[in-house]
Amino acid sequence: MPSPYRAIFAAPGAKGFSTAGFFGRMPLSMMGIGIVTMVSQLTGRYGLAGALSATLALSAAVLGPQISRLVDRHGQRRVLRPATLVALTAVAGLLISAQQGWPDWTLFLFSACGGCVPSVGSMVRARWAAIYRGSQRELHTAYSFESVVDEVCFIFGPILSIGLSTAWFPEAGPLLAGCFLAVGVFWLTSLRATEPEPHPRDHHGDGSALRSRGLQVLVATFVATGAIFGAVDVVTVAFAEEEGHKAAASVVLAVYALGSCLAGAVFGLLHLKGDPARRWLLGVCAMAVSMIPLQLVGNLPFLAVALFVAGLSIAPTMVTTMALVEQHVPRAKLTEGMTWTSTGLAVGVALGSSAAGWVVDAAGAGAGYTVAGVSGVLAAAVAFLGYRRLRPAPQRVGAPMPQARGGSVADDGADDGNEQQRVA
């Protein structure tokens, strides 16, 4: 591992919470595609499969920020464990109802309840922020590492989920995702020393972090970006089935994540200067342009290459997004702010997967990638229109950075103005 990455893990407890976070985030890449694979195998209805995946994503979009707001106020352990138990119960109900062939409304009910899944990635990033407050380079490297972890999840998650559901039994993928969630969350919440201190009362009041105009731009753009991801997932599974190699969809989607993973690893080694908002805009535009080759796809090898290239712009854009969230969100609402970006992605995934499912049913898999292309154009348009709102926000005097219960290893006594992170 390159030295900048070794350096960030010198902090006590960092290896533990990052590893726990890896397991807790695996369901992010496994649950949605697992539901699509499971339902399509049991019923042959891609429209229903996409709609159920969309329901789960929309539910998470609604409930996720509320769970994170409670975490900011009461702490990770007190909130995440009961929320996870609700989510696990809903997943169990979904698997049983699908296997037993119960009415469609029961599938939608359990999918909606499954939205209690917490945003584990936001919880882990909040711990990094608590440890490395005031340390710009270390926090940039930490966020880049977590983006790499996200992509590793997306490399192996679909392979496990689709592979087990097609080779073993249809419910195997979502079942394993639930097991990963339980292990990750309960392990993470057992590590109390690095848990950020809660803020039951803060001077910003009880309003949502989404009141920030800059965060509104990020979330709106990520709705369209999430639609890209949702469409690509559903259409790739359908395309691989049309080609007679449905199980190969997991490998193709892993190549997509591999491109992002490699780009994120390199990005974490860089110490870039300049306006992060401009880098973010360029990243969103690059993601939009990368959707063009998908409209010409004719076979699985070409699709894999096109998705690898498309993945190169993902992780750097996500890392820069975390820097912008810190600029525009009060410190006491940092976890909620990070979760709102995930919420934007979740809403987009819901819309993209649902729309793509219906297009596939109506016109075939090849036409489904049009949804991803249109979503890319929308993402770039929203980013351009909202770019001015992403200029550096005024320093928030007296807005404390989250601090780990065990103390910060990077607290250099800087004043609050210097604690303003310019991560990217």
pLDDT digits (tens, 9 = 90+) for 34-88: 888 888 888 877 778 878 887 887 888 788 888 988 898 888 999 999 999 999 9
Structure confidence at residue 73 (pLDDT): 87
Q: Could you read off the pLDDT of 383-401 as tens digits, one per residue?
A: 999 888 876 544 443 344 4
Each residue of 362-387: b (16+ CB within 10 Å) or e?
eeebbebbbbbbbbbebbbebbeebb
Structure confidence at residue 423 (pLDDT): 32
Whole-number Cα distances in Å, 129 to 2, 48, 287 = 21, 40, 27
CB 373 within 8 A of CB 294: yes
Structure confidence at residue 151 (pLDDT): 80
* Low pLDDT (below 70) residues in the chain: 1-2, 201-207, 391-424
Which CATH fold would you assign to the domain 11-197+207-392?
Answer: Growth Hormone; Chain: A; (1.20.1250)
Q: What is the mean pLDDT of the chain?
A: 82
Structure confidence at residue 344 (pLDDT): 85
> How deeply is 398 buried, as exposed, middle or buried, from its count of CB atoms within 10 A (0-12, 13-18, 19+)?
exposed
Structure confidence at residue 43 (pLDDT): 81
Structure confidence at residue 87 (pLDDT): 93
Structure confidence at residue 405 (pLDDT): 44
Model pTM score? 0.76
Helices and strands counted in the chain (H then E): 16, 0
- Which residues 6+ apart lie within 8 Å of 363 measured at CB? none
Q: What is the C-alpha to C-alpha distance for residues 360 and 369, in angstroms, rounded to an integer?
A: 9
Q: Please, what is the end-to-end C-alpha distance for the chain in angstroms? A: 21
